Chains A and B, each alone.
Chain A
Amino acid sequence: MQWEAFAREAVHGGLHNVLIMAGIIIPVMVILQIGRELNVLDRITVFVAPVLRLFGLSRQATFPLLVGVIFGIAYGAGVIIEAARSGEISWRDLFLVNLFLSACHAVIEDTALFIAIGADPWIILGGRFLLAVVLTYLVSRMGWLAARAPHAGAKPPG
């Protein structure tokens, strides 16, 4: 066991990587915060609602979806659980939102993390988005989903 080589590689490599990631994460978080406080989401919601009608998603489902796509599942779920509790969103819409988010979420922070270590930005961002759109579209057209539609509103959480 070459202890000296190990120590040098571990300390140097570990610190080096943290610095590179910090250089990406910190500006990204500042930009996300600016977006949050300028209520950019509300404006985008109006803009993309017609597109999401492709999936037959209601206007109320658009906002939780966008929050999840941009900020991540944990943050998006807070909004989704809140919306589900208020009974504004049908089970079908909630299912489609979860489906879309499973393929594509936290597109800014998580993507930045992997770009920092050398992944191809177009493939990891565009690929996931395309996958989510195709997947959600196909499932939204399936018969069994419509059959479950009368079961409106989600189960109360917990």
Chain B
Amino acid sequence: MLTAGTFKRGLHKGVSTTWELTKVVIPVYLVVTFLKYTPVLGWITGACAPVMRLFGLSGEAAVPLVLGNLLNLYAAVGAITTLDLSSREITILAIMLLISHNLLVESAVSGRTGVNALVMAFFRLGLAFLCGLVLNLVL
């Protein structure tokens, strides 16, 4: 049954998700923007460039990749919007992150369903890297 309550509950979920998003995106955005004004982002970019090049990504793309896998997609999205990436790079990053993210939490959840959590985490990371490689070749 659809009632006004449905829309209210949907709106409520939307607003609370947006709030969760804001709490993560804003601090990440602040920190990454700050790093951009210091030499630190340049160091990270230089160190990660050789690996990121395999996926057709610039070195600084390592920042959202690490944030997304350790924390969650909101943090990754916050970092991506701070950086100056092409739409091709964003699409490749998006696929990699959508497959593999929030590994600490989600692997634990998979583990509770009876599948080995560590295997699941490494499998998702491997799958994400593989997709990054393939997309870099076909896009």
Name A's B-contacting residues (CB within 8 A).
Answer: 1-2, 5-6, 9-10, 13-14, 17-18, 21-22, 25-34, 37-38, 73-74, 77, 80-81, 84, 91, 94-95, 98, 102-103, 109-111, 113-114, 116-120, 123-124, 127-128, 131, 135, 154-155, 157-158
- In whole angstroms, what is the CA distance A129 to B5 when docked? 33
Establish whether residues B99 and A103, one from each chain, have CB atoms under 8 Å apart when the complex forms: yes
* Interface presence of B73 (CB below 8 A): yes
> Of B22, B98, B99, B120, which is within 8 A of A111 by CB?
B98
A78 to chain B, nearest CB (A): 9
Q: A37-B6, A103-B99 are in contact. Are A5 and B37 (CB under 8 A)?
A: yes
**Closest CB of chain A to B63's CB: distance in Å?**
14
* Contact residues of B between 86 and 112, Cβ < 8 Å to A: 87, 90-91, 93-95, 97-99, 105-106, 109-110, 112
Instruction: Tell whether, in the assembled complex, residue B2 and residue A34 are in contact, meaning their CB atoms are under 8 Å apart.
Output: yes
Q: Is B7 touching A157 in the complex (CB atoms < 8 A)? A: no
How far does the alpha carbon of A111 sit from the alpha carbon of B81 in the complex, in Å? Answer: 16
Q: A33-B13, A154-B113 are in contact. Are A22 and B18 (CB under 8 A)?
A: yes
**Is B67 close to A, CB under 8 A?**
no
Identify the closest chain B residue to A1 (Cβ).
B37
B135 at the interface (CB under 8 A from A): yes
A154 to B: closest C-beta gap in Å: 3
Which chain B residues lie closer than 8 Å to A18 at the CB level?
18, 21-22, 25-26
A110 touches B98 (CB 8 A): yes
Residue of B nearest to A83 (CB): B113
Query: How many residue pairs, one in A and one in B, have C-beta atoms under 8 Å apart?
Result: 161
Cβ B14 vs Cβ A25 within 8 A: yes
A109 CA to B101 CA, complexed, in Å? 14
| A111 CA / B13 CA spacing, docked (Å) | 17
Extra A-B contacts (5), CB below 8 Å, given A29-B17, A37-B9, A114-B94: A14-B78, A34-B2, A73-B110, A118-B87, A119-B87
**Given A18-B25, A25-B21, A34-B2; A113-B15 close (CB under 8 Å):** no
In contact, B30 and A29 (Cβ under 8 angstroms): no
Complex Cα distance, B74 from A117, in Å, reads: 11
The residue that B30 contacts in the complex, of A2, A14, A98, A109, with Cβ under 8 A, is: A14
CA separation between A64 and B80, bound complex, in Å? 32
Q: Name B27's closest neighbour in chain A (CB-CB).
A: A14
Task: Return B57 CB to nearest CB of chain A, in Å.
Answer: 13
Q: A33-B6, A118-B90 are in contact. Are A6 and B33 (CB under 8 A)?
A: yes
